[in-house]
Amino acid sequence: MADLTDDEGRVVAVPSEVGRVVSIVPSLTEAVAVTAPGLLVGATDWCTHPADLDVPRIGGTKNPDVAAIVELRPDLVVANQEENRLPDLDALRAAGVPVWVTDVRTVEGAFDSLARMLAACRLDRPAWLDAAEQAWAALPTPAVRRRAVVPIWRKPWMAVGRDTFTGAVLARLGIDNVLADADERYPRFDPADLPPHDLAVLPDEPYAFTADDGPQYFAAPSRLVSGRLLTWYGPSLQEAAVVLPGALA
C-alpha cells in the first residue's frame, strides 16, 4: 500500500498491486483498457471504447450504482472531477474503495494527468501516450485565429464556457471560444444573441448534432466533429491531433 496524491490533491491509499479497476469515465476507461487489457472489471454504460470492451456496466457517470461497484471489489476506481458527482465518490470512499480523481483542463495537463492515473493503476507509461504527446507537439502554431461557439446541448441550448479541456483543445488549434469568459463552465445561451464568431463547432456528444439538426440555427459556418476527439483525453488524443485540424478547417 502506498499513499499517492491525485489531481485534486487528495491522498489515495493505493495497493502495491492493482489487479481490478473500475472506471466511471469513458475516456479513462479507454485509457486503462488499451494500456492493460483485462485490468478493468467495470465501466459505465457510456464507455463505448474500446469497441470490444466486455465488462459489467455500473450505470452512468452521474448516477453510478455504488453498491454494484463495491461488489466488484476494485483495487481502485478512476474518476473525474467534472464528470462524476462528489456524493458518489464519497460513498465509494466510505465503503473502503480507493478513488483516484483526475482533473483535466488543458491539453498539456491531460498528458501528465493520464500518466499519473495510469501509474496509480501500477502501469508503466504506455507508448500511445508518448505518441499522442508528440502528435500535439508537432502541430504548427496557427497563423490565423478564429472565434467559435461550441454547443453541447439543445432544449435548452448549452455551450462550452470557461476553463474546459474542450476549449483548450480548440485554442491549441487556433480557435478561441467566444463564451470562454462566461461565469459557468457550460452556460446556457441563445443562438440569436452570441458574441461575434466565425464558426459553430457541433460535436456528436453529449447531444448528437447532425447536418439536419444544428447548423441551421447559426449564421456562421458550422463544422460537425466527433465528440470523442473533441472532449475525450486518452488514446483518442493522437487521432484528434491528426483529424481535428482538417475537420475544423
14-23 pLDDT, tens digit per residue, is 999 999 999 9
Instruction: Say yes or no: 106 and 70 in one domain.
Output: yes
Shared domain check, 164 and 81: no
Whether 41 is in a domain gets the answer yes
Could you tell me if residue 54 is inside a domain?
yes
Cis peptide before 98 (omega within 30 of 0): no
Those residues whose C-beta lies under 8 Å from the C-beta of residue 216, and which sit 6 or more positions away, are none
Domain end point (choices 125, 160, 190): 125
**Same domain for 105 and 150?**
no
Q: Are residues 19 and 80 in the same domain?
A: yes
- 3-state DSSP assignment of residue 209: coil
Q: Give the alpha-carbon dihedral of 28, 33, 38, 42, to 10 degrees.
A: 40
**Region 206-215 average pLDDT:** 97
Residues 7, 82: contact at Cβ < 8 Å? no
What was the pLDDT predicted at 1? 81
Please report whether residue 99 resides in a domain: yes
Indicate whether 110 and 152 sit together in one domain: no
Residue 132 to residues 86, 109, 127, 202: CA-CA distances in angstroms?
Answer: 30, 13, 9, 23
Is residue 108, in this structure, part of any structural domain at all? yes
Residue 50 located in a structural domain: yes
What's the first-to-final CA gap in the chain, in angstroms?
Answer: 49
**Across 208-224, average pLDDT:** 97
User: Which pLDDT score, from 0 to 100, does residue 2 have?
Assistant: 87
Specify whether 152 is located in the same domain as 118. Answer: no
**d(C-alpha 5, C-alpha 191), whole Å:** 42
Q: Are residues 63 and 100 in the same domain?
A: yes
Say if residue 9 is in the same domain as residue 113: yes
Q: Rounded to an integer, what distance in angstroms lies between the CA atom of residue 61 and that of residue 47?
A: 9
Cross-strand partners of 201: 223
Question: For the chain, what is the domain count?
Answer: 2
Q: Does the pLDDT value for residue 242 go beyond 90?
A: yes
pLDDT exceeds 90 at position 181: yes
Dihedral angle sign, alpha carbons of residues 30, 119, 6, 73: positive
Domain shared by 26 and 105, yes or no: yes
pLDDT over 90, % of the chain = 99
Q: What is the dihedral of CA 235, 52, 97, 60, to 10 degrees?
A: 90
Q: What is the CATH number of the domain that holds 205?
A: 3.40.50.1980
- Same domain for 229 and 167: yes
Percent of the chain with pLDDT strictly greater than 70: 100
Return the SS3 of 71.
helix
**Amino acid code (one letter) for 208:** A
Q: Does 205 reside within a domain? A: yes
- Read off the pLDDT band of 64 (50, 70, 90): very high
- Sign for the CA dihedral angle at 36, 2, 22, 186 comes to negative
Examine residue 140 and state whether it is found in any structural domain, yes or no. Answer: no
Closest by alpha carbon to 4, among 98, 108, 110, 104?
A: 98
Are residues 121 and 15 located together in one domain of the fold? Answer: yes
| Residue 243 confidence (pLDDT) above 90 | yes
Per the structure, the complete domain to which residue 209 belongs is given by 146-247
Q: Are residues 10 and 105 in the same domain?
A: yes
Report if residue 132 sits inside a domain. no
Whole-number Å distance between alpha carbons of 247 and 201? 10
Tell me the per-residue pLDDT of 218-240, one tens digit each, with 9 for 90 and over.
999 999 999 999 999 999 999 99
Q: What are φ and ψ of residue 194, in 5° steps?
A: -115, 155
Residue 110 has pLDDT above 90, yes or no: yes
